Chains A and B, each alone.
Chain A
Amino acid sequence: MKNNRTEIESLLTDFDAGGVSRRGFLRRMAAFGVSAAVANIIVQSPFGARQAFAAIMGSEERAWALAKEAAAKATKKSLTVLIPTGSIGNMTPYVGKWKNELGIDITFIEEPDEVVHTKGMQEAVAKTGAYDVLMPTAMSYPDWIDAGVIYDLTPWTEKYQPDIFDPQWGVVFPASHHAQLYNGRVAGLLCDGDQITLLCRDDYIRNPDKAKAFADKHGYALSTPKTWSQYRDIAAFMHDPANKFFGSLEYRSRYYVKWMFMQRLASKGRLWFDKDMNPTFNSDEGLAVLDDMMEMNKYLHPDAFSFTWSSNYNAFGRGEGFMNICWPSGFKYSKAPSTGPATSGKIAATVMPADKLKDGTLLYAGMFCWGYGYAVSKYSANPELAYAYAQWMTSPTISMDAIPYLGGYSDPYRINHMKQPTQRMIDTYSPEYLETLYNNIVNTVPDFCLPGGFEYQDALDKEIHACMTGEKAPKKALDDAARSFDRITRRVGREKVQKSWLVLAKNLAEPIKKASGADQWG
């Protein structure tokens, strides 16, 4: 945290002793960069300010104490961290502290995001010990744990308490489980809240002429879409290719397009498998999703078929579309004037649209996809130090400080990031968007965080992409994907994948469990 710990502690002591008024305490805590909400928790704590502050600071302090101890013992005074390109800016601000106070050099090895998983798997055979900390997406954990590449962090988390399940500042459920655990054991500590939300151009919504024309045409008010059918109506209405302004910028490119499919499928109350690991997407719901996506193709940005996360953000920031389905960093960059010159101050966001179930109820579901986290290499020369780094970087306080840096794409994932944000966090995302993030993340379904996860993901992506480009008919694409899924399940081992799948399904939000029937799976 960017504050003077000694002065804060002196202030806490003064407050507990009655030497500082409540208002004065809150004002001075704000000056130290402590958020009003955190300061309020401290003020209201029946156990005294010192103890309350120690609680939220506990994870960071326990990690730092472990780091000090491990650094003193370490013969190799360095940590090498494997990270995906584009994420470094959330980590570099702390390199100096580790060097100056612990004597530990932190080196980052950047690899393209699609290479990180492979590099990790390679360590299973190479055993070089070149990396101490690895930063994969949550999908890597099952394969990496099974291949013996990374540690099961559970013994450390039990001992050093990273507060990942804390009700006030832990990682928001169900991401706390999907994006960190493998079969109930902690495999990594989440550092990036990768859920997708829907962004809209607020200036267009507020335009009275457009609002009237839309209401006249569709019979309901123009706003951020609440359902997928509204999403399509609004995209069609706003689509203005002559002026290089498109209805939406959602992805149709390889590697990304499956998430657009999975998101819509989840909104229909369908998951990827049933309880016996039979694929469920080659169904009426799956076909309806593909029809909807193909209909939407008419209103998409022409680069949608080649978008990467960054070119998508750039196009939206240049003002080339009305809506965008993207990660929270997409909001961060479209809000910042330097990266969103045409969109800064003009974005409204909403949770992912709902779909109507057979019983007429609306189901709100989100996708938690990607979701980077820190894992500790089994071949690290300093595994305890590596773990300490992971816990310290993801602690409620340090992560709150790290996320707002624009140089990295980490996004909020802890409850305090969204419910008790610091001023910097608010300035980066806005209170409304942080609230949206919280409302969306509680309904997220997980990516393929299973053994063989990357193979499932690739098989689905390939077929959805083939369908979107017109190479395959929707039914054939889904049937082919289902056949690939069956092959992968057989090869990886049905029981092994099923065990992991049932654990994931157990930790879904209740409405999604009910809609998908997972509440009956036992």
Chain B
Amino acid sequence: MLVRKLTWPLAFLMALALVFTLFPVFWIVMTAIKPPTDWNAAPAIWIPHEPTLVNFRTLFDPNAIREYGVGGVSQAATASVLGSIFASVTATFFSILIGLFAAIGLSRYATMSKATPLVILSGRMFPPAAIAVPFVIIFSATNVIDTYSGLIAIYVAVTLPFSTWMLKSFVDDLPREIEEAAMIDGRSRLMAHLTVTIPLIRGGLFATTMLIFILNWSEFMFALVLSYTNVTTIPVQLAKYVTATAGTLYGVQAALAVLAMLPLVIGGFMIQSHLARGMTFGAVKR
């Protein structure tokens, strides 16, 4: 195995890349533990002298920040956190489930037109803003506007092309012969896919699941447009932290952003070995 020696220029470039990548995270975490007086102090306060958890408490108790003389926060973030978890987890599950079987079908049973994969991808070939209004009309007519089922349906529809294409590439890279061997051993087609294909592409499956979850978790536009009073998610809630007396509540926004990052970071660590495999799956062509 070829091991490249870490040279000083390379180390410097890597450190630069790390600083560039992690600085926004550092800044958000620091802002999340700053008291209101430090949020937009000039010159900027990099690390707060008196760190506080008041921004996090304000997410669930809007009056908590009054101890710093900031009023006007009217909504707790609880509903948006729960809403985001419910909508993202459910939509990711259905997107992966449907995408997985679509991927196997497209890869192994080319019964449909060769253009079918492109047709599926065409759903992502125009900006989401272009389809927002038609969705509002359709969802209003079918009474699913401002419901989680409506939001989940659109999340699945929007992410399905990604999940299908990504998973198809993983299935394509798996030799058919392995599945055929399983069928020779007496397994049905379905069982061969369930017990052979899917376990063998699990790295790619985890990587795709993570990507789809991130897309759903951070989605703003559809959640904003399709929600009124019953549905809310974290990205929509983030935009609402503005009060008359304190302006934009940067600290509270940062606290919610930190909270929003946590499941992704934890999930990423838990499946990092699969992720690494998934990212490199098929990198070496047969």
Q: Which of B23-31, B109-117, B185-193, B243-251 contacts A (4 or more CB under 8 A)?
A: B243-251
14 contacts between A and B (CB under 8 A): A85-B241, A86-B243, A88-B72, A89-B244, A92-B74, A110-B74, A110-B240, A111-B240, A112-B239, A125-B133, A308-B248, A339-B246, A407-B72, A408-B72
Residues of B within 8 A of A112 (CB): 239-240, 242
Are A310 and B240 neighbours in the complex by a CB distance under 8 Å? Answer: no
The answer to whether B245 touches A333 (Cβ under 8 A) is: yes
Interface string of B143-173 (1 = CB under 8 A from A): 0011000000000000000000000000000
Contact of B137 with A by CB under 8 A: yes
Residues in chain B near residue A329, CB distance under 8 A: 244
Interface residues of B in 45-93 (CB under 8 A from A): 69, 71-72, 74-75
State whether the Cβ of A409 lies closer than 8 Å to any Cβ in chain B.
yes
Q: Are A406 and B140 in contact (CB under 8 A)?
A: no
Q: Mark A381-407, 1 if CB is under 8 A from B, else 0.
A: 000000000000000000000000011
Q: Are A407 and B248 in contact, CB atoms less than 8 angstroms apart?
A: no
Please state if B75 and A314 are interface contacts (CB–CB under 8 Å): no
Tell me the B229-256 residues at the A interface (CB within 8 Å): 229, 239-248
With contacts A110-B240, A122-B136, A130-B229 taken as known, whether A407 is within 8 angstroms of B247 at the C-beta atoms is no
* B229 contacts A87, C-beta separation under 8 Å: no
**Partner pick for A89 among B69, B72, B140, CB 8 A cutoff:** B72
Q: How far is the CB of A84 from chain B (nearest CB, A)?
A: 9
Known interface pairs A126-B145, A244-B42, A407-B245. Does A86 touch B228 (Cβ–Cβ under 8 Å)?
no
Binary contact readout A102-122 vs B (1 if CB under 8 angstroms, 0 otherwise): 000001111110010010001
A87 to B240, CA, bound (A): 12
Chain B residues within 8 Å of chain A by Cβ, number: 28
Q: Evaluate contact between B247 and A130: CB separation under 8 angstroms.
A: no
A409 and B244 contact, Cβ closer than 8 Å, known pairs A122-B136, A125-B133, A338-B69: yes
Residues of A near B244 (CB, < 8 A) are: 86-89, 310, 329, 333, 406-409
Looking at B139, B242, B244, B245, the one whose CB has the most chain A CB atoms below 10 A away is: B244
Say yes or no: is A280 at the interface (Cβ < 8 Å to chain B). Answer: no
A308–B229 CB distance below 8 A: no
Q: Which residue of B lies closest to A115 (CB)?
A: B224
A10 part of interface (Cβ distance < 8 Å): no
Residues of B within 8 A of A336 (CB): 245
- Which residues of chain B are within 8 angstroms of A127 by Cβ–Cβ distance? 140
Q: B224 to A407, Cβ gap below 8 A?
A: no
Complex: chain B residue closest to A108, CB-CB: B74
Task: Say whether B40 faces chain A, with CB atoms less than 8 Å apart.
Answer: yes
- Max chain A C-beta neighbours (<10 A), residue from B74, B139, B242, B245: B245
Indicate whether B225 reaches chain A with its CB closer than 8 angstroms.
Answer: yes
Complex Cα distance, B225 from A308, in Å, reads: 23
A262-283 Cβ-contact flags toward B at 8 Å (1 or 0): 0000000000000000000000
A118, B239: Cα distance in complex, Å: 15
Residue A3 at the chain B interface, CB threshold 8 Å: no
Set of chain A residues within 8 Å of B137, measured between Cβ atoms = 125-126
A430 within 8 Å of B by Cβ? no
**Contact status A308-B247, CB under 8 Å:** yes
Nearest Cβ distance between residue B149 and chain A, in whole angstroms?
Answer: 15
Q: Is A374 an interface residue (CB 8 A)?
A: no
Given the contacts A109-B229, A131-B228, A89 and B240 also touching, CB distance less than 8 Å: no
Q: In the assembled complex, which residues on chain B have CB atoms less than 8 Å from the CB atom of A122? A: 133, 136, 225
Do most interface residues of chain B lie in helix, strand or loop, or is the interface mixed? loop
Check: A313 CB closer than 8 A to any chain B CB: yes
Q: Which residue of A lies closest to B43 (CB)?
A: A244
CA of A329 to CA of B228, assembled, Å: 28
- Contacts of A72-106 to chain B: CB distance below 8 A: 80, 85-89, 92
Which A-B residue pairs are the 6 nearest by beta carbons?
Answer: A310-B247, A130-B228, A85-B242, A126-B140, A409-B244, A86-B244
Question: Given A88-B74, A110-B74, does the pair A125, B229 have CB atoms closer than 8 Å?
Answer: no
Q: Could you tell me the distance between the alpha carbons of A339 and B224 in the complex, rounded to whole angstroms?
A: 31
- The listed residue (A85, A128, A309, A407) touching B145 by CB distance below 8 A is A128
Task: Provide the residues of chain B in CB contact with A107, threshold 8 Å.
Answer: 229
Q: Considering the chains assembled together, what is the distance between the CA atoms of A310 and B239 in angstroms?
A: 14
Q: Given A308-B247, A310-B247, 6 more contacts at CB 8 Å?
A: A85-B241, A107-B229, A109-B229, A128-B146, A333-B244, A339-B245
Shortest Cβ distance from A118 into B: residue: B225
Q: Kindly state whether residue A311 has any CB partner on chain B within 8 Å.
A: yes
Within 8 A of B (CB), among A300-338: 308-311, 313-314, 320, 329, 333, 336, 338
B residues in contact with A85, CB < 8 Å:
239-243
Which residues A122-139 have CB closer than 8 A to chain B? 122, 125-128, 130-131
Q: Within the assembled complex, what's the spacing in Å between the Cα atoms of A118 and B224?
A: 10
Chain A residues, Cβ within 8 Å of B145: 126, 128
B242 partner residues in chain A, CB cutoff 8 A: 85-86, 112, 310
User: Shortest beta-carbon distance, A341 to chain B, in Å?
Assistant: 10
**Cα-based distance from A117 to B177 in the complex (angstroms):** 59
Given A89-B244, A329-B244, A338-B69; A109-B74 close (CB under 8 Å):
no
B228, A109: Cβ atoms closer than 8 Å: yes
Q: How far is the CA of A198 from the CA of B229 in the complex (A)?
A: 39
Cβ of B245 and Cβ of A406 under 8 Å apart?
yes
With A and B bound together, what is the CA distance between A131 and B145 in angstroms? 14
Which residues does chain A contribute within 8 Å of B133, judged by CB atoms?
A: 122, 125
- In angstroms, Cα B231 to Cα A109, docked, is 12
CA–CA, A144 and B225, complex, Å = 17
| Centre residue among A107, A109, A308, A329 by max chain B CB count within 10 A | A109
The smallest C-beta distance from A268 to any residue of chain B, in angstroms, reads 32
Residues of chain A lying within 8 A (CB to CB) of residue B245: 89, 333, 336, 338-339, 406-407
Task: Find chain A residues with CB under 8 A from B72 CB.
Answer: 86, 88-89, 407-408
- Contact A311-B140, Cβ < 8 Å, known A85-B243, A130-B228: no
Question: Separation in Å of the A6 CB from the closest CB of chain B?
Answer: 32
A89 and B245 alpha carbons, distance in the complex (Å): 10
Please, which residue of chain A has its CB at the minimum distance from the CB of B143? A128
Please measure, in the bound complex, the distance between the C-alpha atom of A80 and the C-alpha atom of B245, giving whole angstroms. Answer: 24
Bound complex: CA of A308 vs CA of B243, how far in Å? Answer: 12
Nearest CB in chain A: distance from B236 CB, A: 9
Within 8 A of A (CB), among B195-242: 224-225, 228-229, 239-242
In whole angstroms, how far apart are the Cα atoms of A399 and B3 in the complex? Answer: 75
- Which A residues are in CB contact (< 8 Å) with B241? 85
Chain B residues near A338: list those with CB within 8 A. 69, 245
Give the distance to chain A from B70, nearest Cβ to Cβ, in Å: 9
Question: In the complex, A80 Cα to B229 Cα: how many Å?
Answer: 9
Q: Which of B136, B224, B229, B243 has the most CB of A within 10 A?
A: B243
Interface string of A357-374 (1 = CB under 8 A from B): 000000000000000000
B residues less than 8 Å from A88 (CB atoms): 72, 74, 244
Q: Tell me, in angstroms, the Cα distance from A352 to B258 when the chains sit together.
A: 44
A115–B229 Cα distance when bound, in Å, is: 15
Could you say which of A89, A126, A128 contacts B71, with CB atoms under 8 Å apart? A89
Instruction: State the CA gap A125–B134 with chains docked (Å).
Output: 9
